[in-house]
Chains A and B, each alone.
Chain A
């Protein structure tokens, strides 16, 4: 193990880690928005839109991200739509994550009992107010663990974007191995970088989950 070399390449990893985080953050935020939209469409049984949403969820969950990225990056230009690699990666992640987030929200929404909704209506709240003050807070508490798991999943999935030449952690590692043949050092740094990103997040989620459990509603 060449410690000196590791120190030398660490700045490359720092850059790559920043990029990975940036990509993942945008991906997660978009996934949350898409997921929320889809789950609400399903929850309120919006005609027509509901069908599209369900097709989307099936399509997204049953195709690999790599294929989705290839389709966006190499396929679309054939029909005249040229997107930058970064845009493709963001769209791909949001497309994939959105359906997972939708399922996470769905679980939470379905956990809110009809009696709670009726209690809200009976004190004169409108449907929108019931959604905002009663359904959302209760659903979110149930959804948080799976939303967290999905966030971690999306961060890990970013490692695939190296396939469309984006300089994330995986890309830098392959680069260094290719140029210097220092496989061990490069892979070690790769693992460490992902751990540094994911471990704190994972611990934070455990903490939040425990807090929610203690706050456990149980009416």
Chain B
């Protein structure tokens, strides 16, 4: 049984059809990367999965259980689905440690000692244990994003959603965040990642979902998608990142 199953999901924003009949599933331990041009609905799809956006029709199943009914207690579901945002969104009035402990202590009502031990261990893994009493404003963008990842991980989620987590970072900081995610993938964490980092997608993904205009136009294994995309749209999308033809001093006519 798939860990997450999305069946016929439709989402409208004031009559605008953002997501059209989306269906896919994610197996336990799988890393799925969602690619697609801006405005294709990638982020909205992630937000639908943990209930930050309402959907108009379709089903979302977590471990076989439908989670988008009126009676759904989203705060309980979200404890199993971690999410990391583009703008980090750490709580600025709390220290790093307080940020991480808030969910496990208040939402999950876990034992403080146990949570603190886990939080320290996770911070240590992302290399930020010495920053645990800092406030978010005292950290760099990459450090904040790593804390945000730890904050989500400390809830022991079954599924992690990453929404363009490196999009507002300097190139050097992008690496430190991606390394943490690669590490997670290696450990078998189930992840759905929206990103524009193509090389990273290639390295981390088991499967690529290509979204265009609110529709899934292609689903393929990572290797297959990057070397031999089936649809014209995906081909064009991947070619945008190809600068070879524009090299200075090269006769461009040869290629055309």
Could you tell me which A residues sit within 8 Å of B by CB distance? 115-116, 118-126, 129, 133-134, 137-138, 141, 215-219
Contacts and interface: CB of A to CB of B under 8 A. Distances in A.
B52 A119 contact: no
A219 B137 contact: yes
B98 to A, nearest CB: 9
18 contacts: A115-B89, A119-B90, A119-B91, A120-B91, A121-B78, A122-B50, A122-B152, A123-B103, A123-B151, A124-B79, A125-B75, A125-B103, A129-B106, A217-B92, A219-B90, A219-B92, A219-B136, A219-B137
Contacts of A138: 91-93
Interface string B130-157: 0000001100000000000001100100
A118 B102 CA distance: 14
A129 B52 CA distance: 16
A125 B107 contact: yes
Interface in B80-101: 82-83, 85, 87-93
Contacts of A125: 75, 102-103, 106-107
Given A218-B92, A219-B92, A124 B78 contact: yes
Contact of B89 (A119, A129, A137): A119
B12 to A, nearest CB: 20
Contacts of A141: 93
Given A118-B89, A122-B52, A123-B152, A133 B102 contact: yes
A129 B91 contact: no
- Which 6 residue pairs of A and B lie closest in terms of their CB atoms, listed nearest first? A123-B103, A217-B92, A124-B79, A124-B107, A119-B89, A122-B83
